[in-house]
């Protein structure tokens, strides 16, 4: 079958999912002012959502194993459309928080099931590249989506930004309804499937790399706007451009990863982009307060952001193809564990005015992920 439309539909679905999950980061200051709460409380929209996602992803993967992928993925996107639209008319912070927790529970299914779905549709030799391509949606969410959220929220407010985010899920929803075949099911999962993964040393190490690297990246990224403003005196427009810079290089990094992984292998490719992230956090930490140097740091962090995680997904699928739905769901949980740790630690440090130390803590997390990477070489 022609897999072009499903590939693009799944990629755009990841764009909508990434925007759904990260949208508050793009309008953190505006959202805090509009809801009459502090930056730390607004950051909790990301932190609490991540907690729901990290538990929800594997549980939903198990509970939905008998639902065909077309219905499941389209339903997840429909949940995002409704949730974002409802957030746009929410009267206060508590309502936004409650809507967000419900919405991300529905969004938890998309990214892991998108990866396992494309793995069902393409030959084995094309899986790593196809999974990396589908994950480009997250890079696009950062490259185009978050700058859009930043600019829209700055000029028409946070309600308009949520409304715009809602519309982005409609296109992949319609595309997947037409592009995905009916009655497409992944391998059946049981609690035993997760038990098998828990006893697989390499898979546990790959998941640990995800948790550590994402924690290090997002401790800075979630609070990027207020950090740029407080440390570098950045304007609203400059902040939007920094989000755009991050996203564009993240998109480029994902494309490079999808192109070179076939030649270099997953281990080497993952190491290259983890090194990019480490370099970026080093620039950010050592150059805090110097806006051009912080911009170089943002670029290098972005270069490794999505590429390193897409390589983790590809390596998990290769390590246990028959358990890919479960392992990729756990990897997505690892992303959200890292998101919860990063946003939580960053929020505490921001509240204590330890702004210069945030980057160094992120650097330590990524250094630990590289240490684990060294012992996961593919055989």
pLDDT at position 190 is 66
Domain boundaries, the chain: 4-373
Instruction: Decide if pLDDT at 144 tops 70.
Output: yes
Task: Name 58's Cβ contacts closer than 8 Å, sequence gap at least 6.
Answer: 194, 326, 329, 330, 333
pLDDT band at 298 (very low <50, low <70, confident <90, very high): very high
Tens-place pLDDT, residues 180-225: 888 777 666 666 777 778 888 889 999 999 999 999 998 998 888 8
Instruction: Decide if pLDDT at 1 tops 60.
Output: no
Q: Average of pLDDT values for 96-116?
A: 84
DSSP-derived 3-state class of residue 190:
coil
Record: fold of 4-373: Growth Hormone; Chain: A; (1.20.1250)
Q: Average of pLDDT values for 268-291?
A: 94
Tens-place pLDDT, residues 155-186: 889 999 999 899 989 989 999 988 888 877 76
Location of structure tokens 């570098």? 232
Which has more pLDDT, 303 or 115?
Answer: 303
DSSP-derived 3-state class of residue 3:
coil
pLDDT at position 325 is 67
Contact 163, 88 (CB under 8 A): yes
pLDDT at position 189 is 64
Tens-place pLDDT, residues 88-99: 999 999 999 999
Tens-place pLDDT, residues 60-84: 766 777 788 888 899 999 999 999 9
pLDDT at position 55 is 73
- Here the tokens at position 296 are 């170089």
Instruction: Decide if pLDDT at 2 tops 70.
Output: no
Task: Name 55's Cβ contacts closer than 8 Å, sequence gap at least 6.
Answer: 333
């Amino acid at each position: 079958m022609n897999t072009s439309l499903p590939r693009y539909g799944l990629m755009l679905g990841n764009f909508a999912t990434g925007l759904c999950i990260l949208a508050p980061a793009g309008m953190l200051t505006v959202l805090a002012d509009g809801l009459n709460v502090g930056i730390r409380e607004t950051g909790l929209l990301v932190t609490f959502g991540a907690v729901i996602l990290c538990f929800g992803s594997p549980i939903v993967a198990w509970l939905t194993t008998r639902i065909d992928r077309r219905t499941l993925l389209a339903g997840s996107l429909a949940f995002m459309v409704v949730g974002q639209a409802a957030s746009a008319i929410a009267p206060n912070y508590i309502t936004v928080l409650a809507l967000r927790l419900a919405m991300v529970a529905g969004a938890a299914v998309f990214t892991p099931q998108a990866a396992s779905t494309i793995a069902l549709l393409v030959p084995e030799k094309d899986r790593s590249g196809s999974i990396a391509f589908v994950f480009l949606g997250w890079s696009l969410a950062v490259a185009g989506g978050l700058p859009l959220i930043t600019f829209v929220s700055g000029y028409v407010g946070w309600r308009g930004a949520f409304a715009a985010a809602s519309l982005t899920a409609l296109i992949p929803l319609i595309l997947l309804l037409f592009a995905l075949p009916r009655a497409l099911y992944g391998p059946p999962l049981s609690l035993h499937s997760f038990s098998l993964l828990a006893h697989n040393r390499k898979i546990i190490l790959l998941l640990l790399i995800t948790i550590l690297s994402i924690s290090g990246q997002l401790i800075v990224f979630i609070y990027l706007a207020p950090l740029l403003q407080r440390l570098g005196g950045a304007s609203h427009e400059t902040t939007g451009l920094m989000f755009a810079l991050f996203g564009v290089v993240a998109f480029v990094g994902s494309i490079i990863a999808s192109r070179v992984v076939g030649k270099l292998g997953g281990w080497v490719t993952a190491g290259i982009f983890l090194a990019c992230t480490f370099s970026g956090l080093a620039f950010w930490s050592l150059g805090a307060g110097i806006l051009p140097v912080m911009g170089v740091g943002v670029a290098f962090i972005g270069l490794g952001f999505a590429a390193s995680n897409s390589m983790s997904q590809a390596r998990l699928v290769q390590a246990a193809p028959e358990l890919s739905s479960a392992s990729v769901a756990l990897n997505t949980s690892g992303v959200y564990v890292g998101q919860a740790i990063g946003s939580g630690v960053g929020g505490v440090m921001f509240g204590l005015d330890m702004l210069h130390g945030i980057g160094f803590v992120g650097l330590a997390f990524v250094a630990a992920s590289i240490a684990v990477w060294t012992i996961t070489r593919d055989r």
